Structure 1
Amino acid sequence: MNAIFVMLLGLAAMFLGYVFYSKFIAEKIYKLDPNFKTPAHEFEDGVDFVPTNKYVLWGHHFTSVAGAAPIIGPAIAVIWGWVPAFLWVIFGTIFFAGVHDAGAIWASNRNKAKSMGNLTGDVVSKRAQTLFMIVIFLVLLMVNAVFATAISGLLVKFPSSVIPVWGAIFVALIIGQIIFRKWMGLGAISVLGVVALYLLIWAGPSAPLALPETIGGLTDNATWVLILFGYAAIASLLPVWMLLQPRDYINGLQLFIGLILLYAAVLLLGPDMTAPAFNTNLPEDTPSMLPLLFVTIACGAISGFHGLVASGTTSKQLDKETDLRFVGYFGAIGEGSLSLATIIAACAGFATLADWEAVYSSFGQGGVAAFVEGGANIISQGVGLDNEIAETLLTVMAVLFAGTTMDTGLRLQRYIFQEWGNIYNISWMQKALPATLLAVISCVALAFGAGSDGSGGLAIWPLFGTTNQLLAGLTLMVITVMLVRLGRPMYVTLLPLIFLLIMTVFALFIQLKGFYMQENWFLFGLDIVVLVAAVWIALEATSALSNLKKEQKS
């Protein structure tokens, strides 16, 4: 099948989802109120609580939740064929991710910008809150440690991306000052930031930078990991307007320009989907598509990490409650469009089926490399851009998104330690600097605990998909209980919740068997912890819903 048809069908479906379904959700389910005083105004402090233009906030939310995951997941999942991946991305974006992301912002916004962990204690039970926060901590630990590994690997493999990646931070700092001090209109700032970013991308191949292979006994990968965590720690302590918002906003614009370039190249080139629609020639180590497809593709269909961002940083910057339809639901649409582009790049960017099968020789292959290689081939042939520059552009896109996710992820992990400080009355843990240090130490300990090159986070990465999707289900659970309390229809969140819990628990049992056969007792034990937490929280939520129903009848 021609990739043009796949692209147009996917984009049209997501556009209609935003126009019609998100409007229904906003008006009939969440009942957004433009006059509601948001926490950004109620608790404005110039650091975390900052009322923000909805376009800038969309950039923050979208790029924080995107990261590399909407590239990695779909680019791995197409091993089962491009049709299953395509259907899950499209339907997941419209009926799962948009509802989840907008709902998490709404729930937090209506409760003084509390995180999903804190909300669980108020809405479900204190026991559920304790379990939920453990799951949240595990997800953040995995994301931060593994994304640092992914970024360092790309910086080593593509040295032409080093100048654009780090130069983008200085561009963002300048843009942040201009926006905050209102020296220019947003349109002029957007043009300035994008031009600066693309000049850096153009300059990257001319001046590639690579670290020495070893520095003080550490490999170049390990050195980059330490540098990245040092940067993320500083970024997480700065006021959101200074770096987080402008970096995310410019990255969001850069992504859409990159997507437009890729989609335009598809229109001009008209490549066929080289990969099979349904792959019947699977490598021997490939697991069953059901339920693994639904945890392999998380970001781009639905992801629990989005709920952490939505309730952790986004809700603290919401200017008007009605903005959350654009910020949350359209943010999910943006991520879905990135996943769609990834599917096309990974399935239509190779000349022959044999070339594609050489990349997908075993399960877990593909990922960012397939997206960069396949996408660069389409762009260079479609619009005539030099292949090395196209590779640099797509690599920078992936690295910048992974970097913005790390920025937000470490800030969220700091919030978790501060919340634990409040819960257990540990005064020093409630302060930003000690909490940040604890977050960094825990991530670095994981990164280097099982690998001297800083890739130790990969040790627990096999559980990320299931843990992350469990988190999405639990977030939907909290939103569902809130809707029942308000006497509103709950089916729009309950049906996705039931589907996710079934698939996640199913996948956890399959992984449990695999870890047992591999005698991987660490992951076997961790899988049991996650599984028990899932069942326990589900029972707590069921009890809360049952009690609410009884109260409403009496």
Structure 2
Amino acid sequence: MNAIAMMLLGLGAMLLGYLFYSKFIAEKIYRLDPNFKTPAHEFEDGVDFVPTNKYVLWGHHFTSVAGAAPIIGPAIAVIWGWVPAFLWVVFGTIFFAGVHDAGAIWASNRNKAKSIGALTGDVVGKRARNLFMIVIFLVLLMVNAVFATAISGLLIKFPSSVVPVWGAIFVALIIGQVIFRKWMSLGMVSILGVIALYALIVAGPSMPLSLPEMTLGISDNAGWILILFGYAAIASMLPVWMLLQPRDYINGLQLFIGLILLYLAVLIAAPDISAPAINHNTPEGTPSMLPLLFVTIACGAISGFHGLVASGTTSKQLDKETDARFVGYFGAIGEGSLSLATIIAATAGFATLADWESVYTSFGQGGVAAFVTGGANILHDGVGLGEEISQTLLTVMAVLFAGTTMDTGLRLQRYIFQEWGSIYNIKWMQKGVAATLLAVASCLILAFGAGGADGSGGLLIWPLFGTTNQLLAGLTLMVITVMLVRLGRPMYFTLLPLIFLLIMTVIALLIQLKGFYLKADWFLFTLDLIVLIAAVWIALEATASLSKLRKAKQQPTD
């Protein structure tokens, strides 16, 4: 099969999903109201609560939720064949991710921009909230620690990407001032910002940078991780308009243009897919496709992390409630299109089946490297970009996605500590600086405590990311479903995805639990067990809440 057919089918289906299905969900299920006063206006403070143009906010939401996961997951999952990965990404984006993301924004917006964890306490109950926040904290810990490791590895492997990656921060700081102070129209700012970012990408190969050998007596990997967390800590405390919004917006444009360039190259080069549609010859040790496919591809089909961003930062910047459809659902479409591009790069970017099989020698192989290698080959054949420029472009795309997610993730982790401070009346923990230091410290303890001097300890709990993340998505849908029942609205459009996700995730957790037990990996076994118990407990709490609501509605009134 030719990659053009996969691209047109995938993008066409997602476009139809946005035009029709998202409109139905927004108008008939969530009933978004343009006249509802959003928390961004009600609590406007110029720091976290800032009414924001929907296109700028889309850029923040899209780049924050995308990260490296929609590249890593699909590029690993194609080991089972490209058809299962393609179908889950396309249909998952339309019927799961878009509904989840827009719903999380709506739910938070209707409850004073509370995070989905805090909102659980109001909607389901305090016990469910406490358990939910543990799951949220674990997901954020995984995302921040692992993405720091992933970014540092890419900066070391591709030194030509260092100048574009860090230069993007200075471009964003300038753009933030220009947009906030309205010195220039958004269109002109967008054009100049994109030109500046692509100029940095072109300049990158001629100015490769690496850290000095054994800086302060630590490895390059550890050095970059410390620098990344130092930057993220500062960025997470700055007003959102100063760095978070402009960086995410301009990166979103740059990254979207990168996707368009990659898809254009597919149209011109018309590469055939070298990977099998269904792989009947998977390497030894490859786990069963069911249910692992649905947790291996998390971001790109549906992801619990999206709910954290939607209810943590996005809802605090929503100008009009109706913007939730564009920001949330179309943000999911953007990530789905990235996952689709990844599948194409990781299956059609290799000349022969033998070349593809030489990369996919065991489960877990592929990832960002397959995306960069395959995508660079397609760009070279399609639009004539040189190999180094192509690799730099795709590496910068991956790093900027991961970096913006890490910025947002650390800010969200700070919110979690502040919410804990409010719940348990610990006043010092409610302070922004203290909560940020706790967030950074927890990540560094995992990175260096579990990973040693290299700082790669985040990878230790990465095997649990997919299941924990999908569990979080199911639990977010559960909160939204309970809200819909309370309001007397149709619930099946969130309930059916919720049931599917919980079944697949619990089965996957049980499979992993057995694997950790057989390997005598008691650390991951314990974490897996905690997540599994939390999932079952929260599900029971939500079921009880739904049962009470239904009984209350059935009782006759005087």
* TM-score, normalised by the number of residues in structure 1: 1.00
1:212 aligns with 2:196: no
In the other structure, the counterpart of 1:546 is 547
The 2-side partners of 1:5 and 1:184 are apart by: 41
Q: Shift of residue 217 of structure 1?
A: 2.3
Local SS of the residue matching 2:474: helix
Deviation at 1:256, TM superposition (A): 1.0
Per-residue Cα deviation, 1:479-521 (whole angstroms, up to 9, x for no partner): 0000000000000000000000000000000000110111101
For residue 78 of structure 2, what is the aligned residue in structure 1? 78
Structure 1 counterpart of 2:26, which letter? A
Note the C-alpha offset of 1:215. 1.8
Shift of 1:9: 0.3
Distance in 2 between the 1:213 and 1:87 partners? 46
Deviations 1:156-214 (A, max 9, x none): 00000000000000000000000000001110000010000000000000010011341
- The C-alpha deviation readout for 1:404-444, integer Å capped at 9, x for no partner, is 00000000000000000000000000000000000000000
Q: Deviations over 1:8-28 (max 9, x none)?
A: 000000000000000000000
State the SS of the aligned residue for 1:277: coil
- Aligned AA for 2:506? V
Match of 1:241 in 2: 241
Aligned to 1:518: 519
| Deviant stretches of 4+, over 3 Å | none
Partner in structure 1 of residue 510 of structure 2: 509
Structure 1 residue 142: deviation in Å?
Answer: 0.3
What secondary structure is seen at the aligned counterpart in 2 of 1:460? helix
Rounded to whole Å, the distance in 1 between the matches of 2:34 and 2:478 is 26
Deviation digits for residues 428-478 of structure 1, max 9, x if unmatched?
A: 000000000000000000001122211001011100000000000000000
Q: What is the correspondence of 1:108-507 to structure 2 with a 5 Å cutoff?
A: 108-451=108-451, 452-507=453-508
Instruction: Give the whole-Å Cα distance in 2 for the aligned partners of 1:385 and 1:155.
Output: 21
Q: State how far apart, in whole Å, the 1-side matches of 2:486 and 2:340 are.
A: 37
Aligned to 2:535: 534
What do the CA deviations read for 1:264-287 (whole angstroms, capped 9, x no partner)?
000001000000000011011110
Q: Secondary structure at the match of 2:454?
A: coil
Aligned-partner Cα distance in 2 for 1:418–1:244: 19
* Structure 1 residue 524, shift from structure 2 partner: 0.6
1-structure distance, mates of 2:211, 2:274: 37
- Provide the C-alpha distance between the structure 2 equivalents of 1:15 and 1:146, rounded to a whole number of angstroms: 32
Return the alpha-carbon distance in structure 1 between the equivalents of residues 197 and 352 of structure 2.
Answer: 34
Give the letter aligned to residue 4 of structure 2: I
SS of the residue 2:302 aligns to: coil
What is the CA distance between 1:299 and its match in structure 2? 0.4
Q: Residue 543 of structure 1 aligns to a residue in which SS?
A: helix
Structure 1 residue 398: deviation in Å? 0.3
- Cα distance in 1 for partners of 2:237, 2:502 equals 35
Using the TM superposition, give the Cα deviation of residue 255 of structure 1 relative to its aligned residue in structure 2, in angstroms: 1.1
> Where in structure 1 are there 5+ consecutive unaligned residues?
none
* Cα shift readout 1:104-145 (whole Å, capped 9, x = no counterpart): 000000000000011100000100000000000000000000
SS at match of 1:48: coil
> CA separation in 1, counterparts of 2:217 and 2:514?
38
Partners of 1:213 and 1:302 lie apart in 2 by: 41
Task: Give distance in 2, aligned partners of 1:425 and 1:181.
Answer: 38
Structure 1 residue identity aligned to 2:142: M
Q: What letter matches 1:514 in structure 2?
A: G
Letter in 2 for 1:56: V
Q: Report how far residue 303 of structure 1 moved.
A: 0.2
CA distance in 2, matches of 1:111, 1:501: 25
Distance 1:226 1:154 in 2: 15
In the TM superposition, residue 72 of structure 1 has moved relative to its aligned partner by: 0.3
Q: Distance in 1 between matches of 2:511 and 2:416?
A: 30
Q: Distance in 2 between matches of 1:491 and 1:217?
A: 57
Counterpart amino acid of residue 403 in structure 1: G
Count of aligned residue pairs for this structure pair = 554
- Structure 1 residue 216, shift from structure 2 partner: 2.3
Q: Distance in 1 between the 2:111 and 2:175 partners?
A: 31
Flag structure 2 segments of 5+ consecutive residues without an equivalent. Answer: none
Q: Distance in 1 between matches of 2:148 and 2:256?
A: 24
Deviations 1:513-545 (A, max 9, x none): 110111101101111100000000000000000
Tell me the distance in 2 between the aligned counterparts of 1:460 and 1:93.
26
Query: In structure 1, what is the Cα distance between the partners aligned to 2:285 and 2:363?
Result: 6
Distance 1:140 1:7 in 2: 32
The SS at the match of 2:182 is coil
The percent identity for this pair of structures is 85
Rounded to whole Å, the distance in 1 between the matches of 2:38 and 2:215 is 49
Which letter does structure 1 place at the counterpart of 2:184? Answer: M
Residue 314 of structure 1 deviates from its aligned partner by: 0.1
Query: Equivalents in 1 of 2:356, 2:454: separation in Å?
Result: 30
Give, in whole Å, the separation in 1 of the partners of 2:312 and 2:302.
Answer: 17
Task: Give the TM-score taking structure 2 as reference length.
Answer: 0.99
What is the CA–CA distance in structure 1 between the aligned matches of 2:198 and 2:370, rounded to whole Å? 23
CA distance in 1, matches of 2:352, 2:243: 43
1:491 alignment partner AA: Y
Counterpart residue number, 2:28:
28
Alignment partners' CA distance in 1, 2:515 and 2:50? 46
